[in-house]
Amino acid sequence: MKKYNLVILGATGAVGIEFRKILLERNFPINNVRFLGSSSVGKIIEFGDRKIEVEPVTDDSFKGYDIALFSAGGEISKKVARKAADSGCIVIDNSSAWRMEKDIPLIVPEVNPQDVNWHNGIIANPNCSTIQMVLPLKHIHDAARIKRIVVSTYQAVSGTGINAIDELTIQTKKILEGGKASIEVYPHQIAFNALPSIDVFLSNGYSKEEMKMVNETKKILGDDSIQITATAVRIPVFYSHSESVNIETEIKITSGDVKELLHNKEGITVVDDPSSHLYPLAINAQGKDNVFVGRIRDDESIPKGINMWIVSDNIRKGAALNTIQIAELLISKNMIMN
């Protein structure tokens, strides 16, 4: 089996940790591997049988490497991704820096694998909230054409990074001890609260996170006619985003049809027997690969509507796993010339 030279940029972040775990779990065919970072430079990291020192990014970091998995934020990605691609290393980037660029595909392998064909050295990994939503919606769109989506999210703190996981832990402890929470990562206390604020706000009153869901969904599903409105909310959960998704379709589709349609589809698990207390849950999705869909029911307020509850591990399928699946897709299509 052919093996590949791999770079991870941001190897010690929340997503970076998951990159390393999933690469080993899936026996990703690795020849040389290089970990790049900034604040963690010099740190020695165990990776399977190897011990790897985190290196700083230089102009030569990507020479001789086939694939780079980026999860270090948009700023550094904008600086180095083009250079990496120019040196022959295909970049799969987790930040929002490249997602809406016309010449850069935005890929969820189960949804739009064909878009990998037109990459120019950089492929964008979508926003976590978008990835888990488009997986089931793709099948409904194919079957019944989605006209409109109204989505409200219940997002985990791990999406912000390790410091946010610490903040939720520390604040929660403090409050249970009767103290006052100190606030560093989020603009307000996240423990025992719900923050309708993710990423910065734009002039139309929506947050960037909300507009990512609007714009990325259209690009991934390849259909600008789908109308989407989103409310993105952070809640005190460590891992897995939940989403309340309401859709209106062109063609009538019943909740029964949707359950059948999604049954056994790649990357999707239907969990839907609410009377037996079975529905997707954040704590159950944690550490799992699939997107969990349940509470599928006919929206009785319109003739052709469906409500559903979509849950997935935001760090796995929402980030690290999807990125690695894109790399696997490139390999399976023989698109890596080394």
CA distance 198 to 152: 12
> Closest separation between CB of residue 153 and a copy of itself, Å?
9
According to DSSP, residue 158 is labeled G
Select 8 or 282, whichever has its Cβ closest to a copy of itself.
Answer: 282
Could you list the residues that contact a copy of itself (CB under 8 A)?
A: 148-150, 152, 154, 169, 172-173, 176, 187-189, 192-197, 200-201, 204-207, 214, 227-229, 231, 233, 235-238, 242, 244, 246, 255, 274-275, 277, 279-283, 294-302, 305, 307, 309
**Nearest approach, Cβ of residue 281 and a copy of itself (Å):** 6
- The catalytic position among 119, 139, 141, 241 is 241
* 128 given a catalytic annotation: yes
**Minimum gap (Å) between residue 246 Cβ and a copy of itself:** 5
Kindly report the number of other CB atoms within 10 A of residue 232's CB atom.
Answer: 26
Which entry of 119, 128, 139, 141 is annotated as an active-site residue? 128
Contact 231, 196 (CB under 8 A): yes
Residue among 237, 217, 15 at smallest CA distance from 129 = 217
Distance (Å, whole) CA 159 – CA 240: 9
Contact status, residue 208 vs residue 185, Cβ threshold 8 Å:
no
Closer residue to a copy of itself in complex, CB, 60/300: 300
Q: Shortest approach of a copy of itself to residue 276 CB, angstroms? A: 9
Q: Which residue, 82, 88, 77, 95, is CA-closest to 36? A: 77
Q: At what angle do helices 208-221 and 128-144 cross, to 10 degrees?
A: 40
Question: What are the structure tokens assigned to 199, written together?
Answer: 């990423």
As annotated, the active-site residues are 128, 241
